[in-house]
Structure 1
Amino acid sequence: MKRFNKVLLAAFALVLMTSGSLVQAAVPNDPVQWGFKKGQNEKPAEAGKEREKLLEKYGAVYRGDPNKKNIYLTFDNGYENGFTDQILDVLKKEKVPATFFVTGHYLESAEDLVIRMVQEGHIVGNHSYYHPDLTKVDDARVKRELDRVKDLTYELTGQKDMSYLRPPRGVFSERTMKLAKDAGYTHVMWSLAFVDWNTDQQKGWEYSYNNIMKQIHPGAILLLHTVSKDNADALEKVIKDLKKQGYTFKSLDDLFADGAFDDPMLH
């Protein structure tokens, strides 16, 4: 019986080889909820070796070089709450680039703001169309989610390339990272954030300002939500004060240009 099983397995392997097929293990789909040890006193945030290793494998990032006083400003835009114009006004005045990760709902309900983002030199990134947990939907659905955002952004703004993805809810897996990379996307996580999205629990501009300033560190990828009045009211002072401290605001394209992303702490 054992001999029969060995012969059967050998024959099955031969059929696969001669047909040009290979048996490959499925890419793991264990969900990872993004998290990290917050930065403080200008020391960088740390996501831990396991998360960092997975990000590095797929060319993803959550911070820039901790030895360079650069900041990468990003916003998540799920829906409009009346503050994005104010934020864009500040960015224009201070000549600061940003990346706005948008959903399908935002594209359909705030067309003029998305157009303004691109016209004023900002990057529009992909936050998926319906904002699902991508680890819980099949491969085809993941592709549709990303394609619809990319296509609609192009129709509205003429932005041809969409290279950056921020997974909804900060949840991803090795499978979703591979799918995204195969589709031409780089996962962009973050190294500085705080609870700013509860619109009925805004605490005043100082709350936003203080949370940013106490966590700031060289190479920070800063995540803010545009629905927050606190963020909109604090942004100009944050930018001005960080510039006084020697920080430079750069775009995600700068982070990746000419090998600019090189975090020695990850090697």
Structure 2
Amino acid sequence: MKRMVRYLLLGLLTVSMLASYAEASPINGAYHFGFKKSQNGQLPSIDQEGFKSILEHNHAIFLGDTKQKELYLTFDNGYENGFTPAILDVLRDKKVPAAFFVTGHYLKDQPELVKRMAAEGHIVGNHSWSHPDMTRISNGQIKEELEKVKSEVQRLTGQQGTFLRPPRGIFNNRTLAESYAQGYINVFWSVAYKDWDTNVQRGAQYAHQQVLKQLHPGAVILLHSVSKDNTEALGSIIDEARKQGYAFKSLNDLKTKTY
């Protein structure tokens, strides 16, 4: 049963997570978050994606201060694959803050790890209770999805919770506006690669290269905690980024966004 749940959750996480294009549905105006990747330290772009004004209007984030060599490390935690303790160990030893976006499944299955995240100074973010396409549910259902996570995170950690990562990176103007009205800042990303498929892991060096080649000032880095490659590469990614003059910051420090 546990294996079946794991595969179901993996399927939910993989659908359209890192689309390199934005496609709007004629039914609900939905977009799959995508961007032009950074190369050689240049800034990524969403100028051609069709949703720039929607993000701006609803105060969503995909970049930090692009004038500063600062990085914001974030993880999506849909389910536990045995690697989060090691990830937390690296972050503790390297003194790096991060944000972990958790689902209801994760909160129920791994409450002690959630407590550890908060105790060690990390943000526990909202990734919705059941990981739905929020463009296909009502505002009332969106509120319920987010409130259930918020309530449980608060019970476990005391954190109030203000950061949201939309499931699968799917959104429209309504979902962003509704979640913002509920007090959430939607957090997307500007550095990512296909890391979530646990059956296609290519080694720590591959993960290291994929992340480092996309670094740029103000980067919001998305990693999935189910990845063995990410776990094994994390320390070297942090060390090399610092050698390049980057500092790791908490999302709580993020004050400027540039589109």
Paired with 1:31 and 1:131, the residues of 2 have a C-alpha distance of 16
Aligned residue in 2 for 1:11: none
Amino acid at match of 2:95: K
| Secondary structure in 2 matching 1:91 | helix
> 1:200: how far off?
1.0
Distance 2:67 2:40 in 1: 14
> Secondary structure, in 3 states, of the residue corresponding to 1:107?
helix
Aligned to 2:108: 108
Alignment partner, residue 75 of structure 1 = 75
Quote the offset at 1:180 in angstroms: 0.2
Contact 1:118 1:157 in 2 (8 A): yes
The aligned runs of 1:19-30 (5 Å cut-off) are 29-30=28-29
After TM superposition, list the pairs within 5 Å mapping 1:183-194 onto structure 2.
183-194=182-193
CA contact (8 A) 1:29 1:175 kept: no
Give ranges in structure 2 of 5+ residues lacking alignment.
Answer: 1-26
CA distances 1:46-76 after superposition (whole Å, capped 9, x unpaired): 1126322211101111011222100000000
Give me the whole-angstrom Cα distance separating, in 1, the residues matched to 2:249 and 2:39: 21
State the percentage of identical aligned residues: 50
Q: Which residue of structure 1 aligns with residue 247 of structure 2?
A: 248
Contact kept in structure 2, 1:63 and 1:191, CA below 8 Å: yes
- Alpha carbons 1:42, 1:218 under 8 Å: kept: yes
Tell me the SS of whatever aligns to 2:207.
Answer: helix
Does the aligned pair in 2 maintain the 1:192–1:223 contact within 8 Å? yes
AA aligned to 1:243 is: R
Residue equivalent to 1:33: 32
Question: Gaps spanning 5+ residues in structure 1: where?
Answer: 1-27
2:73 is the alignment partner of 1:96: no
Match for residue 174 of structure 1?
A: 173
**Does the CA-based 8 Å contact 1:29-1:174 persist in structure 2?**
no
Partners in 2 of 1:148 and 1:115 — Cα distance? 17
Instruction: Using the TM superposition, give the Cα deviation of residue 173 of structure 1 relative to its aligned residue in structure 2, in angstroms.
Output: 0.6
**Size of the alignment, in residue pairs?**
232
Q: Could you tell me which residue of structure 2 aligns to residue 219 of structure 1?
A: 218
Which secondary structure does the structure 1 equivalent of 2:161 belong to?
coil
Equivalent position of 2:7 in the other structure: none
**TM (normalized to structure 1)?**
0.85
Who is 2:232 aligned against? 233
Larger mean CA deviation between 49-58 and 224-233 belongs to 49-58
State how far apart, in whole Å, the 2-side matches of 1:237 and 1:198 are: 21
**Structure with more of its chain in helix, by fraction:** 1
CA distance in structure 1 between the aligned counterparts of 2:28 and 2:59, rounded to whole angstroms: 18
The answer to whether the Cα contact below 8 Å between 1:62 and 1:188 also exists between their aligned partners in 2 is yes
Question: Which has more radius of gyration?
Answer: 1
2: distance between equivalents of 1:119 and 1:52?
Answer: 36
Indicate if the aligned counterparts of 1:33 and 1:171 stay in contact, CA closer than 8 A.
yes
- SS of match in other structure, 1:201: coil
Distance 1:162 1:65 in 2: 22
Query: Aligned pair in 2 of structure 1 residues 200, 262: CA closer, same or farther (>3 Å)?
Result: closer
In the alignment, the residues of structure 1 paired with residue 113 and residue 46 of structure 2 have an alpha-carbon distance, to the nearest angstrom, of 33
